[in-house]
Structure 1
Amino acid sequence: MQYPLAEKIGNPDLLVGRESEFKLINKWLSLIPNRMSKSKVILARRKSGKTVFIQRIFNQLWSDPKRGVIPFFFDIAESKAWYPDFAIDYYCSFASQYISFLERDEKLIRQPLTLEEIREYGLTHSNQRLVGDVDSILKNKERGFHDAMWKTATTAHHRFAALFDIRFLVILDEFQNITQYIYRDEKCEGKPDETLAGSFHSLSESKLAPMLVTGSYVGWLIQIIGKYLEAGRLKRMYMSPYLAEDDALEAVYKYAEYCQEPITNETALMINKLCMSDPFFISCVIQNDSPNKDLTTADGVVEAVNYEISDRHSEMSETWNE
């Protein structure tokens, strides 16, 4: 197993459990080569583990080319972006990850190629589609045809899949952000273009390159999907923030080990119970900065948990505030 895409959880060993979710998603992934998988949306509150879940899916697919699915991962960040720059960023990410899969070069995941480098690769490897796309994007940017640039970028995975008889999985993390942070104004002033989610209206029905979409604000995401993609185009998958009790206990021990935080068997059980088998809550308690923290005693665990849920500067409290 390789990890070309750095997972937000940190050490990959910290991802425990989720057997039922992986079983469900792996069955879905196995149907993609035969064009039988419908696009999905994963719905879960913030800090439920969905991002690391989809990052692990990417790494599993990238590590095993025999599965016949090329993964593409794109995080739509909470930062303002000018429309044509966003289109170039999207296309460069797609092309770099596609090339990295073909060449088995994980460095291209961490450091995407530029448009010029993508074009050069296309010329060197007789991939005229890459050359044509780059030429089209650059020419349309010069002419101010930004919608054409975006269309070239967003349709790339479906077009490549059809042309080369291959399959892609298009993973878009924090999809709701596309309605709030992309501006047609170069200075990113005025209102963002709230309609860009509609760019994926027909693409969400692709069986050659199905989509796996996530978002941290469930109600908002459902509203966007219903308005721009039509509700039935993405099959819903709900993810609970809680692990099975045994899996969560394993998470307690792993976080304690990797954070070099002393615990006992008794306090491990107590941490798991008080944190309700929520791995994010567990990580907050083990890593918190409460004065005189001592997780080897019952009183110390209670104090650490109380700090996380009551101190307004704790990681748990700030997440709840968001």
Structure 2
Amino acid sequence: MSERVFPIEECMAYDEFTDRVELLRELETWIKNVRYKRSGSTSIISPRRMGKTVLLERLVNTVFFKPEYKVAPIYFGMGIEKVTLKAFIMQYIETFFRQYIAYCLQEPELYNASPISMKKLMEVETNNNDVKNAQKHLCNIISFIETNHYDSDINHWKHVVRLPEQVARSSDTYAAIIIDEFQEMKFTVYNTSDEKLIAYQAKGLLTDQAATDLTGSYRRMSQSRVAPMLVSGSAVTMIFKTVMGGPLGGRFGFRYVKPLSIPDGVTLLYHLIRIYRSDLSIQPEMAFYTSSQVGGHPYYLYCLVTSLFEQNFDSRDVIDTLIHYEITKGKIFGFWQTHFQSNRHYM
């Protein structure tokens, strides 16, 4: 039997997913209830490397194969790459319609088939009425952008940002808009031309302050009952202020993702050793000690198991030495350096 194709390639080994089952179940229920207009927009907040992204990826991979929910999971992963607003708009349109159509047709390969031309999406042959409705909206928005030449692309964005709600409202299949690292919409999109973007980058003038903050443009979308939002953020103070204050204040619920419990950290540690270091072994007492020393932090446990330091877990002294290496020279040290350096403007 061939291995099942998932719509999203998860960023960690399948067996590493530990102690998030209850939260995953809650989020699946949240998506299921979109169909009955019972789910308002919500957010997931946690520091980096707590498993937030893989939680969202597992959520998409779970609900995608449940067409009976009649709710398409639309996933946008925001990175730190600087782009023009025009390029972002086209990427946003392509992502939404590609993933929406893929869910309606139950085609996981299409869900992740990026980039794909708008023309190809409009030419998908089907008897599915929800897909036909989506294709009509896609044709209309592309025609609108091509025939309306504004001085600023922000005018196009005002129409594009509400597309998911408009499609869902006229369809039998609703949508759940999932945006990972939502706070990056404040700092990565620039309302300028490609030429100027390149020139500004070359001169070091592409500052965060010059970016176009798109988060406030979701004010209406965040209240939608047919296409509510699930956003995440790892710059905790920034994302909390973004979804709980300003234009979006009062429109989002929130869940805070904590480190694993110490026993679940032990479970993860055994999974990691089996996956990455099958030559190692660890006694239960030492596994509990290791998990407690790093507070059940999943990424720190991963760093200890995959450390370049010649390690074993035979005693507390050996484990302490391994932890000392990781926080002074290893991957944990590198994570702290890059994380705090790149997130100073969030603090």
**TM-score normalised by structure 2 residue count:** 0.84
Within the candidate set 186, 208, 222, 2:240 is matched to 222
Structure 1 pair 197–24 and aligned structure 2 pair: CA distance change class (3 A) = same
Q: Residues 238 and 79 of structure 1: is their aligned pair in 2 closer, same or farther, counting only changes over 3 Å?
A: same
Aligned to 1:176: 183
Residues 123, 84 of structure 1: CA spacing in aligned structure 2 closer, same or farther, 3 A cutoff?
farther
Counterpart code for 1:121: V
- The equivalences for 1:2-151 within 5 A come to 3-8=6-11, 10-112=12-114, 113-121=116-124, 127=132, 129-137=134-142, 139-141=144-146, 143-145=148-150, 146-151=153-158
Aligned partner of 2:227 among 209, 215, 237: 209
Cα displacement (A) at 1:78: 0.5
Q: 1:282 aligns with which of 282, 285, 301?
A: 301
Q: What amino acid sits opposite 1:256 in the alignment?
A: I
Between the aligned partners of 2:230 and 2:214, the Cα distance in structure 1 is 17
Distance 1:120 1:195, change over 3 A: same
- Name the counterpart of 2:342: none
- Report the secondary structure of 1:220's partner residue: helix
State the Cα distance separating 1:167 from its structure 2 match: 1.7
Letter in 2 for 1:173: D
Confirm or deny: 8 A CA contact 2:133 2:167 kept in the other structure: no
Structure 2 vs 1, CA of residues 122 and 141 (structure 1 numbering), >3 Å: closer, same or farther? Answer: farther
Counterpart amino acid of residue 97 in structure 2: A
1:273 to 288, 292, 310: 292
**For structure 1, which runs of at least 5 residues remain unmatched after alignment?**
none
2:218 is matched with which residue?
Answer: 200
Q: What amino acid is the match of 2:212?
A: E
Q: Which runs of 4+ in 1 moved over 4 A?
A: 122-126
Cα pair 1:161 1:208 within 8 Å, conserved: yes
Q: Which residue of 2 aligns with 1:318?
A: 334
Compare 142-151 and 228-237 and name the one that shifted more: 142-151
Does the 8 Å CA contact 1:181/1:192 hold for their aligned counterparts? Answer: no
Gap change, CA 1:247 and 1:48, over 3 Å in 2? same
Once superposed, what is the RMSD of the aligned Cα atoms? Answer: 2.3
Conserved? CA contact 1:44–1:215, under 8 Å: yes
Letter of the aligned partner of 2:56 in structure 1? Answer: I
Aligned residues: 317
Give the Å deviation of 1:133: 2.6
**Contact 1:204–1:210 (Cα < 8 Å) also in 2:** yes
Deviation at 1:52, TM superposition (A): 1.0
Task: Rate the CA distance shift 1:141–1:148 in 2: closer, same or farther, 3 A.
Answer: farther
- The answer to whether the 8 A contact 2:7-2:112 is kept is yes
SS at match of 1:164: coil
Q: How many angstroms apart in 2 are the aligned matches of 1:171 and 1:128? A: 21
Distance 1:271 1:49 in 2: 19
Q: CA 1:99/1:129 → structure 2, altered by over 3 Å: closer, same or farther? A: closer
What is the CA–CA distance in structure 1 between the aligned matches of 2:313 and 2:139, rounded to whole Å? 56
| C-alpha deviation, 1:297, in angstroms | 4.5
CA positional deviation for 1:260: 2.2
Shift of 1:193: 3.6
Contact preservation (8 Å) 1:88, 1:153: no
Question: In 2, Cα distance between the equivalents of 1:317 and 1:138?
Answer: 51
* Percent identity for Structure 1 against Structure 2: 21
Distance 1:251 1:260 in 2: 13
- Report if the CA contact (8 A) 2:78-2:181 is conserved: yes
Q: Which residue of the partner structure matches residue 170 of structure 2? A: 163
| CA deviation after TM superposition for structure 1 residue 310, in Å | 1.8
Q: Unaligned regions of 5+ residues in structure 2, if any?
A: 201-205, 340-347
Letter matched to residue 276 of structure 1: G
**1:186-217 deviation digits (Å, cap 9, x = unpaired):** 13235544331122111000011110011110
Change (3 A) 1:129 1:20: closer
Alpha-carbon spacing, 1:124–1:60, altered in 2? closer, same or farther (3 Å):
closer
1:257 to 248, 267, 274: 274
1:248 equivalent to 2:253? Answer no
Quote the offset at 1:175 in angstroms: 0.7
Aligned residue type for 1:281: Y
